Copies of this chain bind each other. A is one copy, B any other.
Amino acid sequence: MKYSFIIFISLLVGPQGVFAQDDDALMIKKIHNQALENGKSFEWLKELCLQNPGRIAGSDAYIGATAFTRKKLASIPGVSSYLQECTANYWKRGSKEIAWMTTNGKKKVPLNVLSLGNSIATPIKGLQAEVIEVQSLDEVERLGKEKIQGKIVFFNRPMDPTYVRTFGAYGGAVDQRVYGASKAAEYGAVAALVRSMTTSQDDHPHTGVMVYKDTLQKIPGVAISTNDANKLSRLLKNGSVSVYLKTDCKSMGSKPAPSVIGEIKGSEFPDEILLVGGHLDSWDVGQGAHDDGAGCVQSMEVLNILQSIGYQPKRTIRCVLFSNEENGLAGGLTYAKISNAKKEFHLAALESDAGGFSPRGFSFESDTSVFKTYYKKVSQWLPLLESYGLQFEMGGSGADISPLKSQKGLLIGLRPDSQRYFDFHHTAVDNIDAVNKRELELGAAAMASLIYLIDKYGIQ
């Protein structure tokens, strides 16, 4: 595209475009201008990613990240910041993970793998066994001990590409990663190899949480890249394949992993809390840029934007950077427990934990007794946000804020475009260079706009 035929496009949302319909439209434009012209979110994310990559809860990197983000929150005038104590089970990957496959004495073909979070290690010398490919947990049951015993079970059902939003495809495949090893162990397998949870074809294995059943023997669970999963599957069509695995990850026990909090006290209704948040922990590989450094800096930026444009909130606006979302939800559970004990009320909680991509809207949920009232109220504001490409829908919000549901406030999830999320999710390439500055900033501006409206008008 060259230079003509393009000027038409942004009249509605360009600098000249608001037409001063009303104060709210002007304020929302001001919020967006602030985010796009003077926003700090990208600069913060870059520092967080480069200084504290691999922020698994309990690690030194995680502790470093709490200090960094608390300092940045404290630098925003009017914000008081503190750490909320929390402990998390710290799982640590070993220094080297080795895997290869071989068919009847032929050459060893190396495989790109990563142990799944919480997995036990292989024996020190590694383990080697014949591989059996399955498409589901059910198939393991159908095959039974006779076929499974002594084997490595290879779960290879791909994420369904026909879902338009990729989170649906993830939800339809991730049971293999979470429960695959347990199910395989039930029938005597020696390890589980799980196709990476991604919509792309590449060489990056994707880690993520897995769960053992206490009653069963524990066997190693390992993710394999989609390219290698395809290779392995092709080989299995022609005969038997054995795989060698060597990992030395382990559980290090309970470690301190505080959540980070910064807030602006409300001037009229300080007891009504509007929470914005993300989770500060990430997996141990990569920089945790999209998952969920992005959500953290966007939440911090909500406070920064409102302060920078001189908006004094009526309600208390609290930014929470939760600990340990990835591996136990200790941060979210601890936060809700303390909040309930203090008899706090979160009128609304908004989480960003779906990547720093172009925002497409918000998803709302709450206790059914109050949902209709809330949703009717927020829906009135849609015309103010539609010109920014935002839509509203009913649906889930975020893992960390979900324990607050019993307080009967409104729970909200930021919904960015989901197409690229699983290219990076839980991998060594979830790095700052995968984040577009403007997309990140627009997400922060969308969050600040909605928080501004809830603060100004309430939702009850």
Contact = CB atoms under 8 A, between A and B. Distances in A.
A164 B419 contact: no
A18 B11 CA distance: 35
Size range of the chain A interface in the assembly: 35 or more
Given A3-B174, A9-B363, A399-B2, A32 B292 contact: no
Interface in A410-452: 415, 417-420, 423, 425, 436-439, 442
B199 A165 contact: no
Nearest to A425: B1
A129 to B, nearest CB: 27
Interface stretch (A89-97, A263-271, A389-397): A389-397
Contacts of A354: 1
A325 interface: yes
Contacts of A419: 358, 436, 438-439, 442
A33 B2 contact: no
A15 B420 contact: no
Given A3-B209, A36-B161, A423-B436, 18 more contacts: A1-B354, A2-B208, A2-B209, A2-B326, A3-B178, A4-B399, A6-B396, A9-B165, A10-B165, A10-B168, A14-B165, A14-B169, A164-B388, A164-B442, A417-B417, A419-B442, A420-B436, A420-B438
A6 B170 contact: yes
Contacts of A307: none
Contacts of A6: 167-168, 170-171, 396
A7 interface: yes
A228 interface: no
Contact of A164 (B13, B327, B423): B13
A162 B1 contact: no
Contacts of A1: 291-292, 325, 353-354, 398-399, 425
A151 interface: no
A59 B186 CA distance: 64
B37 A5 contact: no
Interface string A13-46: 1110000000000000000110011000000000
Contacts of A442: 164, 419
Copies of this protein, total: 2
A457 interface: no
Nearest to A34: B162
A419 B2 CA distance: 17
Contacts of A172: 7, 14
Q: Give the top 9 A-B pairs by smallest Cβ distance, nearest first.
A: A10-B168, A7-B171, A13-B164, A10-B165, A14-B168, A8-B396, A9-B167, A5-B396, A6-B167
Nearest to A5: B396
A177 interface: yes
A402 interface: yes
Contacts of A9: 165, 167-168, 171, 363, 395-396, 415, 418
6 contacts: A5-B397, A6-B396, A14-B164, A164-B387, A164-B389, A389-B391
A32 B167 contact: no
